[in-house]
């Protein structure tokens, strides 16, 4: 009972850290363009994230909870996985560097499984890796195409339509928030299914509460980081990029897969910029983001493997 409680608290802590980490990915552009103020942005994101986690996450939770590791996962191993993911995500959030919490989680799971003598469903891992590689390029192509369509048909250019684009952009941020809840809650609570502690609905609810709490209590710094340090886009481009990001993630979730919110957004932003012949992302900041994407999964594997190996030898 005690170890199960520790696991649930660790999962809540990880969800809390993720909620803060993804405020910029969901509401950074609506906030940057002045389409929504800070407090309404955080509150609306928290509510929609909770709804997405409870109502739309079942297939991803089942896939991650039962489809990555073969063999019996103990509560102790699950704590190592979530604990490592929580520590690394919190570190990246503290440094205000976007990373992929999904990739951190999966590599922590692989490291723990290998050190614990459990099997890894490598076919499922390869499928996820292919999705992770393709998603930013698909998002870039879609961002390019949607921005071109908006420009070609002069959407949102006329004065009577210009005022409405802010509302559309906020709606896109809301869809992204819903997608984040459905997509990322499994990072924190899929292990609860792995050890048969809860079903997918309760796991989604537990993770959703943690995500919403992270948005509300620690979301402001990352929201401002993405809004004012990374994004260089007007409202039309931002709307196209945010809609593309949300659609890419929702499509993946509908098939039971999860992908990186940040990578989908960066890809969509890049495509939107190419459609205008503009550079939409600061190069120095982008280098830091890519570095985070590389370091995060490797560090997760090493830390989780080491912790699991140590727990077996003591």
0.95 surpassed by pTM: no
Q: Above 90 in pLDDT, residue 248?
A: yes
pLDDT the model gives residue 285: 64
The DSSP secondary structure of 205-246, one letter per residue, reads: HHHHHHHHHHHHHH-HHHHHHIIIIIB---HHHHHHHHHHHH
Contact call for residues 80 and 311 (beta carbons, < 8 A): yes
What does the pLDDT look like over 70-121, one tens digit per residue? 988 999 999 999 999 999 999 988 887 778 899 999 999 999 999 999 999 9
Measured over the CA atoms of residue 87, residue 230, residue 220 and residue 212, the dihedral's sign is negative
- Longest alpha-carbon distance in the chain: 70
Instruction: Give the residue extent of every domain in the chain.
Output: 2-313
Q: Above 80 in pLDDT, residue 182?
A: yes
- Least Cα distance to 191 among 93, 97, 304 occurs for 304
């Amino acid at each position: 009972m005690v170890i199960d409680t520790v696991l649930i608290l660790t999962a809540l802590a990880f969800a809390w850290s993720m909620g803060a980490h993804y405020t910029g990915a969901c509401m950074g552009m609506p906030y940057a363009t002045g389409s929504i103020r800070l407090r309404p942005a955080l509150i609306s994101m928290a509510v929609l994230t909770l709804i997405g986690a409870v109502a739309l996450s079942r297939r991803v939770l089942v896939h991650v909870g039962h489809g990555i590791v073969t063999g019996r996962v103990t509560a102790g191993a699950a704590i190592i996985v979530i604990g490592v993911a929580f520590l690394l995500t919190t570190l990246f959030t503290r440094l205000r560097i976007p990373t992929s919490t999904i990739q951190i989680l999966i590599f922590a799971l692989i490291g723990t499984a290998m050190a614990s003598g459990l099997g890894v469903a490598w076919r499922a891992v390869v499928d996820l890796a292919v999705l992770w590689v393709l998603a930013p390029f698909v998002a870039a192509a879609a961002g390019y195409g949607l921005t071109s369509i908006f420009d070609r048909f002069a959407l949102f250019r006329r004065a009577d339509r210009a005022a409405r684009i802010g509302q559309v952009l906020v709606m896109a941020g809301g869809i992204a928030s819903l997608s984040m809840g459905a997509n990322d809650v499994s990072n924190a609570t899929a292990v609860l299914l792995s050890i048969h502690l809860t079903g997918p609905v309760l796991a989604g609810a537990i993770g959703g509460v943690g995500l919403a709490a992270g948005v509300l209590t620690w979301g402001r710094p990352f929201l401002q980081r993405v809004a004012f340090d990374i994004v260089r886009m007007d409202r039309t481009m931002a709307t196209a990029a945010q809609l593309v990001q949300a659609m890419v993630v929702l499509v993946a979730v509908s098939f039971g897969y999860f992908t990186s919110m940040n990578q989908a957004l960066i890809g969509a932003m890049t495509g939107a910029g190419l459609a205008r012949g503009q550079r939409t992302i600061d190069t120095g900041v982008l280098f830091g983001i890519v570095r985070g994407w590389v370091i995060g999964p490797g560090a997760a594997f090493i830390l989780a493997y080491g912790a699991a190996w140590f727990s077996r030898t003591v």
